[in-house]
Amino acid sequence: MRSRSIWATAGVLAAAVAVFAAVVALPAGAQETDSEAAEQQVLKVGWAQDVKTLNPFVGVNEENFTVWALTWDLLVNFSAEDLSPTAGIAESWEVSDDRRTVTFTLDPDAQWSDGEPITSADVKYSLETLGGEGFLFTSYTNNVTSIETPDDETVIIQTKKPDARIVGGLFIYMLPEHVWGEVPVDDLTGSYEPELPMVGSGPYVVTEFDRERILRMEANPNFRGETPEYDEIQFIKYGNQDGVE
C-alpha cells in the first residue's frame, strides 16, 4: 500500500507543478491597464476525467493533485523551474549537523484564504493527520519521531535517521486545522466533502464543484506568491460545456 502511494504521488508531481507554473505567471505587483482590470481573465481547461472528490484523505487520481496543488502549499514547495526546494508554508529551514532534525520557520504574516493565520499548529495537524491517515500520504511520515511547535512560527521535525524528503520531498499538503480538524477522522477517511469555498493557501480556491460538469476555482486574495495570471480557472468535463460561462 505504501509503495503504491509513493509511485502514485511521484507520477503526478510534475503535472501538478506544471499547472501551478502555467497559471502563476505575472510578477507580484504587476500593473494592469484599466481595460484589462475591468475584464475577468478566465482560463477554461477541458478534461476527460474530472475530480471525484475534493477530499485529500481519499482522492487518488491526477485531477485531484491538479486541484490540490493550486489550493494548498506544501511545507516546502517545489520550484516550477527545476523542482528544487523553495518556500512554501515554511519560508526558511535549518538542518542539524546530524541531519535528523529540521527546524522550519513560518511567515508570521501568512493567512489562509478566509483570513485566519497560518501557524505551526496547521503544519503539525497536517503532518500527523493527513500524513498518518491519507491514503496517498502515509509513507512520508514513517521516519518521523516527533513534531514540535514551540511557537506559532516554528516547527521542529525529528527523524529516526537522516531523511532527504523532509526538505524538498515531504509531499503532504498543509491543511487549515480550524477547518479539517473539526471533522472526525472516520469521516475524513470516508465520504466527507469540504464546504465551499474551500480554504487554502495556494493561488486559487475551489468555489464551485458540479461533478461530471465543472470545477471552478477563483483567485485566493491572501496568496503570498506571484500574482496569478487568471482571475478564475474552470475545469470543464468534455461533453458538458453547455451553460458554462
pLDDT score for 160: 97
pLDDT score for 16: 56
37-75 residue pLDDT tens: 458 899 999 999 989 999 999 999 899 999 999 999 999
Indicate whether 240 pLDDT > 70: no
Task: Take residue 128 and report the three cell numbers written for it.
Answer: 500527523
Q: How far, in Å, CA of 148 to CA of 243, rounded?
A: 50
Instruction: Determine whether 2 is exposed, middle or buried from the number of CB atoms within 10 Å of its CB (0-12, 13-18, 19+).
Output: exposed
Mean pLDDT of 89-112: 97
Rg (CA), the chain: 18
Which amino acid appears at position 169 of this protein? G
Question: What DSSP string runs through 143-171?
Answer: TEEEEEEEETTEEEEEESS--GGGTT---
What is the model's pTM?
Answer: 0.85
Peptide bond into 197 cis (omega under 30): yes
183-237 residue pLDDT tens: 999 999 999 999 999 999 999 999 999 999 999 999 999 999 989 999 999 999 9
On whether the CB atoms of residues 37 and 89 are closer than 8 A, the answer is no
Match 535517521 to its residue by C-alpha cell.
161
Match 515554511 to its residue by C-alpha cell.
90
On whether the CB atoms of residues 146 and 154 are closer than 8 A, the answer is no
